[in-house]
Amino acid sequence: MKRILFILILNYFFTLSTFAQYNFDIKGYINNKIEPLGKSNLKDNDTVILRFLNISKIDTAYIKNDSFEIKGQVPYPSIAMLEYKYGGFSFDIDNSRYEFYLSLVEDDSANREYRGEIKTKSVFYNKFDNLRKIRVPLNERKSLLQDSLQHTQSRDSMFFYATKIKEIDDSLIIIYDKFAKENPGSYLVAYAFPNIPDFSYKKYYLMYLSLPDSVKNSFYGRNFYSRLMATKNVEANEKNNEKEAELPTIIGIDTAFNNYTLNKNFYKRHRYSLIEFWASWCGPCRRINQDLIKKELLLKEKGVFLVGVSLDNSGESWKIAINEDKTNWLQISDLKAMESPVVKYLRLESIPFNVVVDANGKIIKQNIYGQELDNFLNSLH
């Protein structure tokens, strides 16, 4: 009897741990002092929405007396977007209380906007926020260097930029390694590590295996695993001649929202196809569009068919960018952004990026811009 009771007690605590919930409490405060009762104010009865990005859950609150409150539960630390009629604010939620201060401010051009600030003792929020504050400036610097690298024709400059990019990557790897040691086996590690510069199946599969099942079964664990499998496939392909790798089928829609497929049947209609990966939000990509406009006639003369593949998740933003840039070539997208299958296959960590595919669907060139693209076109007769 005692043994049965002991087993029942164990089952009870196991059930509690399995279905444990993280209780959160968000208290929002709105400051409209620079424009009392103005048209652009958030007012009483306006809606505030808390939309979770990793689970199917939406919470809603209404503003009353310049404040609002949202209480709820999540199964594990989660990512959410707090949306209001003039913007949104992304943050990480666990078993904590959050004070959210939203103030109407005026910038240098006299435009007014709401800016948010969060105060919390949340471990999940603060640890990842600290990592973000270190990581973001380094990635911004890296992006500028990559842009400069793509637009220089000097070998000395290429070497300089490539060296500086590697230095930043090495610094990021050290930062991530320290982060992992400080948070072993946590949701934070599974959340952060797919963004490390040297992320690969070979290097980080053992880290995944070391995660507890609760983390593996979460959104972050599943994403970690899928990214590992994507890099594993790429690593397997790298054992073969890189130039013989085939570009996988790309399925999306064109700007008229008709279904469109890039596959072997498509490629065999052209001598070569230049597939340009870009997005409306990517400044360097938009500048590449202008470069391609200048080369559009030469590309046609050389038998190179130009296709833009957008990594946007908004059809509206994508079409606006196309109209603004005046790009007249074929444009398609699956509107899955960085979750697109071809992104995982090519292991893209930044854009712009392109590939040249021959009539058999084989990748013969990758990431060629500026003088390198000119040299390729001049070699075609």
Q: What pLDDT, on the 0 to 100 scale, is given for residue 27? A: 96
Which domains occur in the chain, in start order? 20-121 (2.60.40), 126-238 (no CATH), 242-378 (3.40.30.10)
Show pLDDT as tens, one digit a residue, over the chain (381 residues): 444 444 444 443 333 344 458 999 999 999 887 665 556 678 889 999 998 888 888 999 999 999 999 999 999 999 888 888 777 888 899 999 999 998 887 766 566 778 888 999 999 999 999 999 999 899 889 888 888 887 887 888 888 988 999 999 999 999 999 999 999 999 999 999 988 988 888 899 999 999 999 999 998 998 888 878 877 765 555 554 444 577 888 888 888 878 888 988 899 899 999 999 998 888 888 889 999 999 999 999 999 999 999 988 777 788 888 988 899 899 998 888 877 888 878 877 778 889 999 988 888 888 888 888 888 888 887
Q: What pLDDT, on the 0 to 100 scale, is given for residue 100? A: 93
Q: Please report, for residues 84, 117, 152, the alpha-carbon distance to residue 30 in angstroms, rounded to integers and kept in the order given.
A: 11, 11, 48
- Does the reported pTM lie above 0.75? no
φ, ψ dihedrals at 147, nearest 5°: -65, -45
Q: What pLDDT, on the 0 to 100 scale, is given for residue 12? A: 38
CA separation for the pair 334, 19 (Å, rounded): 35
CA separation for the pair 372, 201 (Å, rounded): 31
CA separation for the pair 5, 44 (Å, rounded): 55
Query: Could you give the strand order of the β-sheet that contains 58-62, starting from the edge strand earlier in sequence?
Result: 58-62, 47-52, 78-84, 87-93
